[in-house]
């Protein structure tokens, strides 16, 4: 039992999270797949194919009680988590500028999911992560969080939530790097997913293609020889983006 490698992916119902889950299963991981929606036919199909290597886990990362229940289930099974992928996120309004009416309630929720959701998960799982061999936290960020590269005039909640996720990643890196912990903060590319409420077919990458690249970066970082002296925001191809 001791050589089981556990990973956890949030927002695994569909899109990139589902593809990352599939990719990790292919690599031999046991995966806790955070399921936000009440039902996820895609996850059920994966579970049927992989038996108890795939554990769908009802998980709303904006909700403290939901997180606590999910973390209890994980910790009842294992005290070592090789890899946490904070993937679940929402977009919010992408058209309103500072000259329009802004929906602050919705912005609150975007922050609760994209920024605080990731931090709650990492905070709740930091002991099993640091107790593992991999010790890796992956924050799926976005080019939209890069302040230096920003040309948009809207997308307030999403862009700000990802910038804050970037800062979160640096703070965590500073704390855990001396303990052998690793953080990967990555822009997955423009991916054909459901972020905009329907399948975005204009994306350059399929979820499987983006996931394959990201899992390549994950594999490098899981190597015992890997260490990042300086954390950087990188994209799925490993190219650096300005913070």
The site for ligand NAP (CB under 6 A) is made up of 10-11, 13-17, 34, 36-37, 59-62, 87-90, 113, 117, 140, 142, 187-188, 190-191, 193-195, 203
Q: How far is the CB of 20 from ligand NAP (least distance, A)?
A: 9
* Ramachandran sector of residue 12 (left: φ over 0; alpha: ψ -120 to 50; beta: rest): alpha
- Please, what is the end-to-end C-alpha distance for the chain in angstroms? 41
Nearer to ligand NAP, 196 or 227 (CB): 196
* Nearest distance in Å: CB 191, ligand NAP: 4
- State which residue, 18 or 126, has the beta carbon closest to ligand NAP: 18
Query: How far lies 41's CA from each of 13, 20, 35, 47, in Å?
Result: 8, 16, 11, 10
Instruction: Report in angstroms how near the CB of residue 180 gets to ligand NAP at its nearest.
Output: 26
Q: CA distances (Å), 237 to each of 66, 73, 148, in order?
A: 34, 34, 19
Among residues 130 and 232, whose Cβ is nearest to ligand NAP? 232
By beta-carbon proximity to ligand NAP, the closer residue of 187 and 221 is 187
Least separation in angstroms between residue 10's CB and ligand NAP is 5
Beta bridge partners of 31: 7, 54
**Smallest separation, CB 88 to ligand NAP (Å):** 3
b/e string for 164-199 if b means 16 or more Cβ within 10 A?
bbbebbbebbeebbeeebbbbbbbbbebbbebeeee
Q: Shortest approach of ligand NAP to residue 31 CB, angstroms?
A: 14
> Which lies closer to ligand NAP via its Cβ, residue 15 or residue 134?
15
Choose between 130 and 143: whose C-beta lies nearer to ligand NAP: 143
């Amino acid at each position: 039992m001791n050589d089981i490698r556990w990973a956890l992916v949030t927002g695994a119902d569909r899109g990139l999270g589902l593809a990352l889950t599939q990719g990790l299963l292919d690599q031999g991981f046991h995966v806790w797949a955070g399921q936000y929606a009440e039902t996820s036919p895609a996850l059920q199909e994966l579970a049927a194919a992989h038996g108890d290597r795939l554990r769908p886990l009802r998980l709303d990362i904006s909700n403290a009680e939901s997180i606590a229940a999910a973390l209890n289930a994980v910790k009842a099974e294992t005290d070592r988590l090789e890899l946490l992928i904070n993937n679940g996120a929402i977009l919010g309004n992408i058209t309103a500028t500072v000259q329009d009416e802004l929906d602050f309630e919705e912005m609150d929720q975007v922050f609760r999911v994209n920024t605080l959701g990731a931090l709650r998960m990492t905070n709740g799982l930091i002991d099993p992560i640091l107790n593992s061999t991999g010790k890796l936290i992956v924050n799926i960020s976005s080019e939209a969080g890069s302040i230096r590269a920003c040309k948009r005039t809207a997308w307030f909640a999403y862009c700000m939530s990802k910038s804050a996720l970037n800062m979160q990643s640096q703070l965590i890196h500073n704390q855990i790097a001396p303990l052998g912990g690793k953080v990967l903060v990555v822009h997955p590319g423009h991916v054909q997913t459901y972020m905009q409420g329907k399948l975005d077919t204009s994306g350059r990458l399929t979820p499987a293609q983006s996931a394959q690249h990201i899992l390549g970066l994950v594999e490098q970082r899981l190597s015992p020889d890997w260490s990042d002296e300086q954390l950087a925001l990188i994209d799925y191809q490993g190219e650096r983006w300005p913070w």
